[in-house]
Amino acid sequence: MKKTRQSMLTPSIVRSAIKDSFVKLNPLTMMKNPVMFVVEIGTLIVLLMTVFPGYFHTEDDIGFNITVFLILLLTVLFANFAEALAEGRGKAQADSLKKTKKDITANKMVGNGIKLVSSAELRKGDIVVVAQGEMIPGDGEVISGLASVDESAITGESAPVIKEAGGDFSSVTGGTRVVSDRIVVRIAADPGESFLDRMISLVEGAKRQKTPNELALSTLLTSLTIIFLIVVVTLAPMADYLDIELQIPVLIALLVCLIPTTIGGLLSAIGIAGMDRVTQFNVLAMSGKAVEAAGDINTMILDKTGTITFGNRMASEFVAVGKESLRDTAGWAAVGSLRDETPEGRSVLELMKKQLLRYDESLAEGGEFIEFKAETRMSGIDLPDGRKVRKGAVDAVKKWVIAQGGEVPADLDAASDRIAREGGTPLAVAVDSRIYGLIYLKDTVKPGMSERFEQLRRMGIKTIMCTGDNPLTAATIAREAGVDDFIAESKPEDKIAVIRREQAEGKLVAMTGDGTNDAPALAQADVGLAMNSGTVAAKEAANMVDLDSDPSKIIEVVAIGKQLLMTRGALTTFSIANDIAKYFAIIPAMFILAIPEMNALNVMGLGSPQSAILSALIFNAIIIPLLIPLAMKGVAYKPMSASRLLGRNLVVYGLGGVIVPFIGIKLIDLFVHLWV
């Protein structure tokens, strides 16, 4: 199921972001972003010079100062708007989740009786009874019973899921509803610490912490800001010594254009949007660090069943025995499966279509369907003309045919043994006293998995499949799926061992899991993706939870992580590169009157010193909102090697970051020069 994505620019989100842009002007808030805090201080200084021109002796420059102030103010507001817009989507998502979180009456077990209490009173370890039609009052684990649970309020998936005690599908989430039967649940979280509470806090950004890479980049941007601040401050006395007059607003304009304001204004929005993109895929990341780590993954550990394969054994081949033809064998297998609604039965009909084989459906009209039973280990249909069609376990069908007075083909056992050795399941097909052949059932690889693993290979990611199957079966599936390596007959400790082995080589490892026995490996992995349908232990050990319980989604998570790193790197490259054009605009404008030779650096042919400064400032301001959609959506990611990716980014965003400002500043100057 694909979840409908929330539009990035809904009117309510934009209105809220505009309001928050002004609220974030609070210096205590702005200090968290040193680059934009410096711009805000510069804006305040120019404002004071505009309001009190006599004190600063700037009466003749009042118009220029007002213009510089307004442009600087817009620069800060645009940066705040980018962050507020990213936060707004998370808050909107959190609001919808808060509607799900409401006070529920719980049937708490006290002694030998049941007491009605509010869900807010429940504590970890309490035991509650939830019957049909009732809401599950809190996160917990089913300790008794089996029930169908509607989790659409959390996952968006309309189909109910089965929850039962003692298995890997025993975990339940507060706010979901029991639609059939009755279960006893042990509460696993105190109020305010539930899965839903954590999800609300994370998506609205209340607990978002900067990731290591984000902190490193923030440190770099702060260092560059300090260096350029020192340069600009020392420039004033040097100019005085040379009898060159440099006005304070011009120096502030130079500083703002020198420091990396573009990435400084968008950095926080990129991180928030990265978390949001994961949430849009119905994956809850416990931290931004987990998303970022996904982008650096070198090795991926995948379970076979349910991840690489469907998990249900499907028909893959018809095998005729004795003197029977393949067409007859397939035809009778299809007739016996016409009213069989199991995945196995439907797969027989799908294989018929795939192999373009025909059969007479009319034979089964009016027949009596025989359901599979553990006692007989067969299913089939009794036709109106008296013939009986059966398919099932080979030994069971052999006994049935012998009882009908028939004989077993000499090559039946050999064909059956071959399928079993290859890890498949043979089903015999018989009509009355005659065995026609076998249906080869195997756990089928999901379509497109080979292509997806090839994509991962191009990303430089090694894939390792873990399975409890024998080595022969594991090798067959691994070859068909296209994984790089496999571990057959694997146990939980084998998964931990391979993760530690890869980590010891300096690699980052991702894995998926849903059972309690997967918890140690999920905790050991750098990126552990637990299934929402899994146990509480698995979800607590992992740093990501997939609400849709789709194990193969780890591949999308890795792509999102790489997209986050690419977006941050691309916009950082663009931001630093576009400063070059601003140097050519402002530096000549500052000194051209005192040093006419500086006009040689005016390669853009800008109209006047004032128009050059204002054009550079305007471009510096408007480039931030123009890049917001890219920061929110992310740079398009295509699997390729790191060296090719670096080369592509340098060309597109490095060279582009140099060329675009030259064109933009020149176009702006054509209009500004006329006004100035």
Q: Is 374 a known ligand-binding residue?
A: yes
> Which 8-state DSSP code applies to residue 467?
-
Domain boundary pick from 409, 443, 477: 443
Q: Is 449 a known ligand-binding residue?
A: no
Out of 139, 150, 197, 303, pick the active-site residue: 303
Domain boundary pick from 403, 426, 443: 443
653 and 583 part of one domain:
yes
Domain boundary pick from 547, 568, 597: 547
Q: Is 514 a known ligand-binding residue?
A: yes
Task: Provide the pLDDT for residue 492.
Answer: 75
Task: Determine, yes or no, domain membership for 116.
Answer: no
| d(C-alpha 173, C-alpha 155), whole Å | 10
Task: Determine, yes or no, domain membership for 73.
Answer: yes
Task: Determine, yes or no, domain membership for 98.
Answer: no
Catalytic residue status for 303: yes
| d(C-alpha 13, C-alpha 15), whole Å | 6
469 and 572 part of one domain:
no
404 and 457 part of one domain:
no
Q: What is the mean pLDDT of each run of 10 residues along the chain (676 residues)?
A: 47 86 92 92 92 72 88 93 78 61 78 84 89 85 85 62 74 82 87 68 56 80 90 85 81 89 86 76 76 86 77 84 91 90 85 88 86 83 92 91 90 88 85 93 81 83 83 81 86 85 90 78 88 75 80 80 86 87 80 75 80 89 91 78 76 88 90 80
Q: Is 375 a known ligand-binding residue?
A: yes
378 and 465 part of one domain:
no
Q: Is 317 a known ligand-binding residue?
A: no
Q: Is 377 a known ligand-binding residue?
A: yes
Q: Is 340 a known ligand-binding residue?
A: yes
87 and 213 part of one domain:
yes
363 and 490 part of one domain:
no
Kindly report the CATH number assigned to the domain that includes residue 146.
2.70.150.10
Task: Determine, yes or no, domain membership for 104.
Answer: no
* Total domain count, the chain: 4
> Which 8-state DSSP code applies to residue 650?
I
| d(C-alpha 546, C-alpha 529), whole Å | 7
Q: Is 391 a known ligand-binding residue?
A: yes
Kindly report the CATH number assigned to the domain that includes residue 390.
3.40.1110.10
319 and 426 part of one domain:
yes
Residues near 597 by Cβ (< 8 Å), separated by ≥ 6? none
DSSP secondary structure letters along 311-363: EEEEEEEEEE-TT--HHHHHHHHHHTTTT--SHHHHHHHHHHHHTT----GGG
542 and 564 part of one domain:
no
Token digits of residue 206? 């209340």
501 and 640 part of one domain:
no
495 and 416 part of one domain:
no
DSSP secondary structure letters along 24-50: TTSHHHHTTSHHHHHHHHHHHHHHHHH
Task: Determine, yes or no, domain membership for 101.
Answer: no
Q: Is 372 a known ligand-binding residue?
A: yes
Task: Determine, yes or no, domain membership for 3.
Answer: no
Task: Provide the pLDDT for residue 36.
Answer: 93
Range of the domain at 157: 123-189
162 and 245 part of one domain:
no
638 and 622 part of one domain:
yes
Q: Is 376 a known ligand-binding residue?
A: yes
Task: Determine, yes or no, domain membership for 478.
Answer: yes
Task: Determine, yes or no, domain membership for 211.
Answer: yes
DSSP secondary structure letters along 406-446: ----TTHHHHHHHHHHTT-EEEEEEETTEEEEEEEEEEEEP
Task: Provide the pLDDT for residue 6.
Answer: 45
